[in-house]
Structures are given as structure tokens and as C-alpha cells.
Amino acid sequence: MRKLFAICVFSLLPLVAGAVDTAEQQARALFTADWQWRLQARPEYATAIGEHRFNHALSDTSLAASRAALLHHRAMLQQARALATERLQGQDRLSLELFIHEHEEVLRQLAFYPYQLQPISNQDGLHIRFAQMVASTPFASESDYRNYLARLHAVPAHVDGLVEQMREGMVTGWVAPKTTMAGVPAMLRAMRESIESGPLAAPFGSIPATITPAAREEFAAAGPVALRTKVAPALEALEAFIRNEYLPAARDTISAAALPGGAEYYALLVAQQTGGSLTPLEVHALGLREVDRIRALMRGVIARTGFSGSFAQFSAFANSDKRLFFKSPDKLLARYRKVMGRANSQLGRLFLTLPTEDLVVKPAARENGEAVGGAYYEEGSALRPAGLVVNTARLDARPIWEVEALALHEGVPGHHLQVARAHQLAGLPAFRRHAWYPAFGEGWALYAESLGYEMGFYKDAFSAFGQLNSELLRAARMVADTGIHAMGWSRQQAIDYLNANTANALADNEIEVDRYIAQPAKALAYKAGQLRIQGLRARAQMVLGERFDVRQFHETVLGNGALPLPVLERQVGRWIEESLEAASHPAPARAANGS
């Protein structure tokens, strides 16, 4: 597989440079070649979006594969820039612009460090994503099970590549902070110790009766053997390497600025995650202003509950009073389902095009209960409905008042509506139908939370408090993330800031800060994107006045799939101009007889 991966970048080039005549054909061939490379290079991602040709494989994590990927991105960018852009029109021209943008952004990051910066951490990695991948994998046929067995046999080579990546980081100085790695050996050990009873083994315990008895017997025996002899030893080796070699070499600092060229690297991440040209200090100041604004709104909502104490006292009450928590996972899941049912019934008031993909509310794997938030979105495919996945572990950390905002964020009109809407854009190339720009995607989902007011949600003061706290956390993230990575804050300083300025549970704020340390700038996308989308709506309402139609606005925002924010602003601006033009030249009235 590694040899194939290393040469696939070159084998795809003739497909693009071959005998195609028009600019449109050349561009579409380029998009197709690159998309097929992406699926082959990232088979776990392919599985997640319902492309199952590579379900037998895991991604090649070797340094050689990273170098091959760098060559591929350079080749794709070179060929894209060579196309005759002026001969492209409409969506083809926009697709080429986005294609160039994506590869340019990847290469900007790789110019700092051409390998995987942090292949595993307490926030992400094999120990979290493997179970999620299994949940996205079909297990209906013999070939499905043979693919899964091949994937389990691929784990040792995959782990070897992770170790190779981390050793390179130890040599070059691109190592992770100790605080993001300290808990990883225990997480790997827990995964290994439950290897035959956890989610990786689950497919072998419920083999469909449609598979022949002989094959069922074969898989039921071969699965546990592969888990014991291939996966478990690889996990044990990774655990030992991290504990004995990597952790001693990991850095005591937590700021991205401590990396080689780190200040410039973090500035790039900030620009990419916020979808613009904001500097870290500008983001910090914006976060402070938003925290002050939202806190002022929260005072009024707290007063509506009848509580007379301070913000800190109300936060402690809201996170501890047993009346504000469900006593069983089933009741928590039922509340999410009820919210989604109500939301779906109201979508037609705000949107012209509704998602056709189903969305199911389901519990998260309990093994990941400490590693994921209250809920998350799982993209659907032709064979599997999308999921609003609810963390039913630690019910005492899942207050009722957060459910409405979180459900609208992860489900509809948030992630599910936006992602499923993009899937429906059949005329666009695959890379656009599955595109992800953080400020657009997370910004839309946070904006979608605020649409709850227009849909009849948040009438209860506690739920309104939950929505504001959700927004407040996203603003406080701007302050804490930039504080850590651009202003020298300590971990405790960041935790103290969140404790003092949000209503999050104290334990959750520690997890939040560790997330910012492990994934610099990633948490900035939510608020940055939300503010830009809200600003575009406000501009359109001001210019169009009574002619403003919120459904048309949302159609404009979502109708081209995910977009970088500057491109989105251009699209909305064009829609405003066209709306004004249409208003100044109304269509002639039709005669009563229809002639």
C-alpha cells in the first residue's frame, strides 16, 4: 500500500493532462483526479462520507506518505493555475477558485512543517476516531466483514507510521505539549483492555443472518483473533512509546508560539480558522467585547428565572441542582428527539430548500464519554442516515438547559441542514459537496442556534440562558485561545478565565482549555463565522428593507455549499444587487386571460 500511495500522485497526472478539449472538461478532470486521490489517501474519511471502496484500508501515516502528499498538492495547484480561468463560467469558475484556495491553504501550513504535527493527543487520534469509523462502516455482507478484517490487520502499519511521525517531531522540535499527551497512554490502555468487548468488537457479536452460516462462523472466530493479535499489540507498542520516549521529550510549554516559527504559524492558523485577516490580538479584543455584550444579556435572562444571586452563584446552581438534569439516558435522548421534531416542523418558515437526508438521534459510544462533548454531528451517506450523537455518559454534566441550543447547532437548522443541503447540490464536484471551511461550518451552526428564537424555542428562561451561555463560551474561547498561544497565558490562567466568565461546569472548562492547547485556533471559527453571517444578514436587511426575504438569504448562504467567508460575502453582495435590480425592473403583469 505504501508504494502505491507514493506513486499515486504521479499516476493521476495523465488523467488531468490527457486528451480533454474544453476548459470545463480540463477543470472537471482535475477535480475528479484530486478527489480520487483524497479518498485513497484518507480511507477513513471515505468511509465516513459513504464511499466504501477503501473500507479495507487505513491511511498511510508514514513520512514517505506525507512527502508524497506535499508533491500532490503542489502538482494540483500547478495544474489548476495553468487552466484558462477566463474561459470558465459560473460554477466551474467558482469551483476552480475554491480548488486553488484549498491547495494554497494546505501548502501554507506544510511550508512550516511538512509532516503531521500531532498525530495523537488527549483530544483526537486513533483511540477516539477508530470507534467512530466503525460506527460509520456498513456490516451487511461478507465483503463488509472481510474489509473490516483487512482494516484490523492494517493497524500495526498505521501505528508504526504514527510513531515515525512523532519521532520526526522529536528530532525537529515539533513536539506536543506534555499536558496534551499525559493522559494518552491510559486512554490507549483502556482501549486495549476492552478490545474484545468494546466498539471494535461489536460487529462480530451481531453478524447478520443474511450472511451464510459458514462465513458467520469464520468471522466470529477471525475477528477476536485479529483484535488480540494485531490491534492490541499495536496499541500496547504505541502506549509504551508515548510513555517511555515521547512524553519525556514533549515540551513543557503550551503555546504554539513555542514551536519553530510558532508565532507566524499560529497567526496563519488564526487567519485560516476565522476566515479572514484578523490577527491574534484583534481576535482577543473581539472576544473580550463579545463576552461583555453577552454577559449583559444574561443578567436579564437570569432575572427572569427568579434567581437573585450573582452570575457565579447562578452558574453554580445551574450546574448542580438535580431538577435541571435528567435521571436516565432515555429521557435525555427523548428531549433531543422532541427538539428536532419541533425544529423540522418550523424549517419552512426560514428555508426554501429543506434537507432530504434523514437525521437520527442516537447515543454516543460510552467508551468515548470523557472525550466528546454533549453532542456532535455525524455526517450521513447513501447507506446510513446522519446522526445527532448524544453523549449520555455523566448525566450530571448534561443540563437540560443546554439541550435546545445544542440540538439546533448539531442538527437542524445547524450542521445537518447545512451539510445535507450541500450533498444535494448534484451539479457541483464532489470536493465542493463535501467541503469544510471551519468559519463557515461552525459559524453557520452557531448562527443557527440564534434562529431558535424565530422558530419558537428558548421561551423558557433556563433554555434562553443555555443559548446565551453557548454563545458566551464561543466568545470566551477567542480570549482564552489567543491568550494561551499569543499572550503567554498559563493553562490555569485560561481555566480561571473560563470559570469566571462562563456558566460551564468547572470540569468542562478544564477539558475546554486542554482542547485549545492541543488544537490551536480551532475554537476560534465558531464566533468569527457567526458574526460574519449575522453581519451579512444585517446588511441585506438594511439595504433591501421590506424586500428582504430571510428564506432567500439562507438560500444564498447555503446554495453554493460551504464557502470561504470572503467568497460568501461576495455571493451575498451579488444577491443583494440582483434583488435591488429586480425591484427596480418588476416583471410586467400578466393579462387576466393568461395571454
* Element containing residue 389 per DSSP (H, E): strand 386-390
- Asked whether 505 and 474 are in contact (CB, 8 A), the reply is no
Question: What's the rounded Cα separation, in Å, for the pair 372 and 410?
Answer: 13
- Asked whether 442 and 468 are in contact (CB, 8 A), the reply is no
* pLDDT for residue 594: 38
- Asked whether 189 and 234 are in contact (CB, 8 A), the reply is no
Give the CA distances from residue 361 to residues 215, 378, 552, in Å, rounded to whole numbers and listed in that order: 32, 10, 29
Using a 10 angstrom Cβ sphere, with 0-12 exposed, 13-18 middle and 19 or more buried, the burial of residue 259 is: buried
Three-state DSSP state, 360: strand
Mean pLDDT of 459-487: 98
- Digit-coded pLDDT (tens) for 4-61: 333 344 444 444 444 457 999 999 999 999 999 999 999 999 999 999 999 999 999 9
Binned at pLDDT 50, 70 and 90, residue 475 comes out as very high
Q: What is the mean pLDDT of the chain?
A: 94
For the chain, how many helices (H) and strands (E)?
A: 29, 3
Question: What's the rounded Cα separation, in Å, for the pair 57 and 143?
Answer: 13
CA atoms within 13 A on the CB side of 359: 32
- Digit-coded pLDDT (tens) for 336-364: 999 999 999 999 999 999 999 999 999 98
Per-residue pLDDT at 305 exceeds 60: yes
* Element containing residue 226 per DSSP (H, E): helix 213-226
For residues 276-315, one letter each, b for 16 or more C-beta atoms within 10 angstroms of the residue's C-beta and e for the rest, the string is bebebeebbebbbebbeebbeebeebbeebebeeebeebb
Identify which of 387, 379, 399 has the alpha carbon closest to the alpha carbon of residue 317: 399
* pLDDT for residue 94: 98
Neighbours of 10 (CB within 10 A): 12
- Digit-coded pLDDT (tens) for 239-296: 999 999 999 999 999 999 999 999 999 999 999 999 988 999 999 999 999 999 999 9
Q: Which residues contact 568 (CB under 8 A, 6 or more apart)?
A: 440, 532, 533, 536, 557
- Chain centre distance of CA 526: 11
Helices (H), 42-62: 43-48
